[in-house]
Structure 1
């Protein structure tokens, strides 16, 4: 099992609770869902979520994904996983509540 991670507000996750898949806003605006590998989570939290309360960290099993996963270079020349379609919830193997810092 290979894991990647997605950061989402508890509110956004709850809005889609009854659906079989999750669609981040970026899927509509950019065409994909942003994810991170384990080593990128802390940096992503620091850069984009520093003052955002009530965050969740979704642990995603790449073997269970039904949408296309691509690793692509971001503006900082670092390769990030991007999911080109909805995130099927069967691939989410753990949901971690973030209280300021990830436990990874």
Structure 2
């Protein structure tokens, strides 16, 4: 499974049988995703303090578009690679949606619903 961070309202707009298209798909050609161990990194770097986020839990086998593990641009200082989805995310590929609750310090940690797996 891979994870994607987005606003709850953005996800709510995706109808049954629809597709989610993050702005990055048009900007750079793919949708940024993470795994369970790295989702907090982009969240803390890009979304600190936001209270409207969810984590989409995605089954890559159900996407129907390529998923490539790549380094970032610029590369992550620790050499971490992230999954990039090269196409829209089909609603049917999202197996669960988890609240991504901001912590008291404004940062993020993996939700318990995912950490217990």
TM-score, normalised to structure 2, is 0.80
1:15-64 per-position Cα deviation (integer Å, ceiling 9, x unaligned): 33356111001001111000001100122211111122210000001111
Superposition CA RMSD, Å: 1.4
1:6 is matched with 4
Give the aligned partner of residue 102 of structure 1.
110
Q: Secondary structure at the match of 2:38?
A: helix
Pick the structure with greater CA Rg: 2
State the Cα distance separating 1:86 from its structure 2 match: 0.5
Q: Give ranges in structure 1 of 5+ residues lacking alignment.
A: none
In structure 1, how many angstroms separate the alpha carbons of the residues matched to 2:8 and 2:15? 10
1:50 is matched with 48
The structure carrying a bigger strand percent of its residues is 1
- Residue-pair matches, total: 102
The match for 2:33 among 23, 27, 35 is 35
**Runs of 4+ deviating beyond 4 Å:** none
